């Protein structure tokens, strides 16, 4: 019986040694497992960094200056994933004035693009649900992120009005995803008008930013997550001085059209669907 138990221990040790090897083989040769590992690492990194940095941010209290800590925590992720960031038109965002930045929204990977170009004293507007996500929500609140209830129109309008009052007083820049939800389609969703009402109420310019499609290296539908190149294009600013609420629908459509045109042009420059059939090296 002693010999039997020794055999069991040896077998168990052998199995435990084989598990990491099996996981490693799955990671390299199974695209779906590879995808889930990379997504889990991304989310795990955000949670770990939020937990680590929150006590330091708390010393300062709720402040837009804490966004620098969040930015520093997310910046290294591109190196882990082998994602090369290319920024076009950065001279357009060389501004010290308050403004509203609008950007297309594809996936949580947008965080990597956002921290690449986000100016100082800039806070995103995020859905209220994020506030209840443990240390991540706490870190976001401490960084001055503005939370909005997308399901209650009156609450959303109140937040926009309050933000319009503080944006100039505190020299803030506000980052908004006007599509309102993630979208990996080949065109942009209709824009919600909140960002444009905010810019008109505060009489501050709008800076449109377009992040190129991720198709050649990331797709939640196809469970694909490899390395690749991401282009971020900053379009010329759009002035809102002298505009009134009645101009908002046309302003929204003008900005959306400019961003959709840029997205279409950037899509044509990416290998898109062909990457699925070709070996990864052919797209480098």
What DSSP string describes the chain? -HHHHHHHHHHHHHHHHHHHHHHHHHHHH-HHHHHHHHHHHHHHHHHHHHHHHHHHHHHH-S-GGGHHHHHHHHTTHHHHHTEEEEEE-GGGG---S-EEEEE---STTHHHHHHHHPPTTEEEEEEGGGGGSHHHHHHHHHTTPEEE-TT-HHHHHHHHHHHHHHHHHTT-EEEE-TT-S---SSSPPPPPSHHHHHHHHHT--EEEEEEPP-TTTEETTTTEE--EEEEEEEPPPB--TT--GGGHHHHHHHHHHHHHHHHHHHHHHS-TTHHHHS-GGGG-
pLDDT of residue 268: 87
Is residue 278 over pLDDT 80? no
- Residues 67-101: tens digit of each pLDDT: 999 999 999 999 999 999 999 999 998 888 999 99
pLDDT of residue 2: 60
Domain-located, residue 13:
no
Q: Which of 18-27, 77-86, 112-121, 221-230 has the lowest mean pLDDT?
A: 18-27
- Residues 42-63: tens digit of each pLDDT: 999 999 999 999 999 999 999 9
Domain-located, residue 184:
yes
Domain-located, residue 89:
yes
Domain-located, residue 107:
yes
pTM summary value: 0.85
Residue from 233, 231, 176 nearest 206 by CA: 176
CA distances from 267 to 26, 216, 230, 243, 273 (A): 31, 10, 11, 32, 10
- Residues 155-191: tens digit of each pLDDT: 888 888 899 999 999 999 999 999 988 877 778 889 9
pLDDT of residue 16: 80
Is residue 13 over pLDDT 90? no
Domain-located, residue 138:
yes
Q: What is the mean pLDDT of residues 23-47?
A: 88
pLDDT of residue 45: 96
Q: Which two tokens stand for residue 164?
A: 């319009």
Is residue 205 over pLDDT 50? yes
CATH number at residue 43: 3.40.1130
Range of the domain at 39: 23-272
| Phi, psi of 188, rounded to the nearest 5 degrees | -85, 150
Is residue 196 over pLDDT 90? yes
Q: What is the mean pLDDT of residues 203-232?
A: 94
| Whole-number Å distance between alpha carbons of 137 and 54 | 10
- Residues 223-276: tens digit of each pLDDT: 999 999 999 999 999 999 999 999 999 999 999 999 999 999 998 876 544 444
Domain-located, residue 231:
yes
Number of domains in the chain: 1
CA distances from 98 to 83, 166, 264, 284 (A): 30, 10, 29, 38
Place of tokens 């170009």: 117
Q: What is the mean pLDDT of residues 205-216?
A: 95
Is residue 122 over pLDDT 70? yes
| Whole-number Å distance between alpha carbons of 194 and 147 | 13
What confidence category does residue 154 fall into, taking pLDDT thresholds of 50, 70 and 90?
confident
Is residue 1 over pLDDT 70? no
Domain-located, residue 277:
no
Domain-located, residue 39:
yes
């Amino acid at each position: 019986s002693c010999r039997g138990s020794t055999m069991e221990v040896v077998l168990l040790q052998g199995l435990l040694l084989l598990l990491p090897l099996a996981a490693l083989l799955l990671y390299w040769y199974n695209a779906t497992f590879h995808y889930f590992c990379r997504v889990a690492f991304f989310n795990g990194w955000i949670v770990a960094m939020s937990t680590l940095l929150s006590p330091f941010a708390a010393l300062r209290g709720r402040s837009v200056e804490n966004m620098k800590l969040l930015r520093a925590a997310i910046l290294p992720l591109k190196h882990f994933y082998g994602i090369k960031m290319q920024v076009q038109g950065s001279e357009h965002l060389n501004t010290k004035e308050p403004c509203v930045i609008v950007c297309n929204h594809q996936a949580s990977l947008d965080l990597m693009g956002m921290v690449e170009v986000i100016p100082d004293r800039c806070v995103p507007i995020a859905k209220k649900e994020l506030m209840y996500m443990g240390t991540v929500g706490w870190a976001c609140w401490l960084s001055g992120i503005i939370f909005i209830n997308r399901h209650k129109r009156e609450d959303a309008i109140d937040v926009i009005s309050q933000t319009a009052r503080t944006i100039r007083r505190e020299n803030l820049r506000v980052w908004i995803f006007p599509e309102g939800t993630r979208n990996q389609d080949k065109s942009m969703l209709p824009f919600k008008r909140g960002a444009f009402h905010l810019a008109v109420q505060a009489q501050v310019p709008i800076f449109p930013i377009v992040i190129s499609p991720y198709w050649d290296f990331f797709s939640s539908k196809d469970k694909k997550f490899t390395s690749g190149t991401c282009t971020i294009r900053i379009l010329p600013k759009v002035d809102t001085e002298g505009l009134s609420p009645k101009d908002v629908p046309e302003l929204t459509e003008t900005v959306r059209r400019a961003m959709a045109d840029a997205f279409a042009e950037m899509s044509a420059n990416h290998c898109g669907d062909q990457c699925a059939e070709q070996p990864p090296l052919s797209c480098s």
